[in-house]
């Protein structure tokens, strides 16, 4: 029987890389994004690629600023499937000016909070509440947050760091309340990722990290897949996982055969919360 996943913000970037890795393993994957579905746009293209890889891709339009739309996605999954094995909280949105990166917080509009925290943190909490209701009832499942080394050290902007630290703490504390339910929570720290947006910028490095050696979105997806299918994943529940380091544990390489390096040392250490 196919495993069932929901990956939010999956029409491009890290989200798309994750759904492609799951599709290649035969998963049924629900993909959300703000773009419309059924019109051949990026969300439909990503879903079709999941199916072409051997899985089943299902595109679902969802504006994650709206709790009711998030709830509707989970209601649909509950109606169409026997359960939910994996939620990947990945949705993210830029405020005007590419998240204000490069400008100090006092020169940015306070409304940046509504995007970076409202979408980048609150929407993940709402989705996790919905997912936990399905998973706890069945006694299994994994909730994974796509976080960042911005938890450990300054990266990009103040609000970026706040949102990512919140995701890590959310995974750690949800694990406490989910203990003995069979449901695990994780927070993942990819390194710099060669997304379409990053490549379109035409820069050679981001925050001093060379793009040439960066992780691909599918590399992150391969790590997510390994964690979600690891029968011992419960031992990691509540922890923050560095994708490059987990890849070494699981014997995972990037799509070009390379082995991306961990940014742990550059940011002064590992997770602030959890057991790792």
Number of domains in the chain: 1
The answer to whether position 20 is within a domain reads yes
The answer to whether position 274 is within a domain reads no
Can you give the pLDDT at residue 195?
Answer: 64
pLDDT band at 203 (very low <50, low <70, confident <90, very high): low
57 phi, psi to nearest 5 deg: -100, 130
Q: ∠114-115-121 over CA atoms, to 5°?
A: 90
The answer to whether position 150 is within a domain reads yes
Say whether pLDDT at 276 is over 60: no
The answer to whether position 121 is within a domain reads yes
53: containing domain: 4-191+220-267
For residue range 74-103, list pLDDT tens digits in order. Answer: 999 999 999 999 999 999 888 776 655 778
Q: What is the CATH number of the domain that holds 54?
A: 3.40.50.720
Say whether pLDDT at 157 is over 60: yes
* Annotated active-site residue in 30, 125, 160, 250: 160
Q: Are 85 and 142 in contact (CB under 8 A)?
A: yes
For residue range 209-267, list pLDDT tens digits in order. Answer: 767 677 889 999 999 999 999 999 999 999 999 999 999 999 999 998 989 888 898 88
How much of the chain, in percent, has pLDDT values that exceed 90? 71
What pTM did the predictor assign?
0.93
The answer to whether position 276 is within a domain reads no
The answer to whether position 55 is within a domain reads yes
Reported residue count of the chain is 276
- Distance separating alpha carbons of residues 269 and 63, to the nearest angstrom: 35
160: annotated active-site residue = yes
Q: Alpha-carbon dihedral of residues 28, 38, 42, 160, nearest 10 degrees?
A: -80
The answer to whether position 105 is within a domain reads yes
pLDDT band at 191 (very low <50, low <70, confident <90, very high): confident
The answer to whether position 210 is within a domain reads no
Which range of 40-54, 95-109, 187-201 scores highest in mean pLDDT? It is 40-54
Q: What is the mean pLDDT of residues 17-38?
A: 92
**Which residues partner with 242 through β-bridges?**
189
For residue range 95-153, list pLDDT tens digits in order. Answer: 776 655 778 999 989 999 999 999 999 999 999 999 999 999 999 999 999 999 989 98
């Amino acid at each position: 029987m196919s495993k069932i996943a929901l990956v939010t913000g999956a029409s491009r970037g890290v989200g798309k890389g994750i759904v492609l890795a799951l599709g290649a393993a035969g998963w049924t994957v629900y993909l959300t994004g703000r773009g419309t579905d059924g019109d051949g746009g990026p969300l439909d293209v990503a879903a079709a690629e999941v199916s072409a890889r051997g899985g089943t891709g299902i595109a679902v339009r969802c504006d994650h600023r709206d709790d009711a739309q998030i709830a509707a996605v989970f209601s649909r999954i509950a109606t169409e499937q026997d359960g939910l094995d994996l939620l990947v909280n990945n949705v993210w949105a830029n405020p005007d000016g590419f998240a204000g990166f490069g400008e100090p917080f006092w020169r940015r509009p306070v409304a940046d909070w509504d995007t970076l925290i409202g979408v980048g943190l609150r929407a993940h909490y709402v989705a996790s509440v919905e997912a936990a209701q399905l998973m706890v009832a069945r006694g299994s499942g994994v909730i994974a947050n796509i976080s960042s080394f911005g938890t450990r050290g300054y990266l990009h902007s103040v609000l970026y760091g706040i949102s990512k630290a919140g995701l890590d703490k959310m995974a750690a504390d949800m694990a406490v309340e989910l203990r003995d339910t069979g449901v695990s929570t994780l927070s993942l720290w990819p390194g710099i990722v060669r997304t379409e947006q990053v490549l379109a910028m035409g820069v050679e490095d981001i925050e001093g990290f060379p793009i040439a050696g960066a992780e691909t979105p599918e590399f992150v997806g391969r790590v997510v897949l390994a964690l979600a299918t690891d029968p011992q994943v419960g031992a990691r529940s509540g922890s923050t996982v560095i994708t490059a380091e987990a890849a070494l544990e699981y014997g995972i390489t990037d799509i070009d055969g390379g082995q991306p390096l961990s940014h742990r040392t550059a940011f002064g250490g590992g997770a602030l919360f959890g057991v790792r």
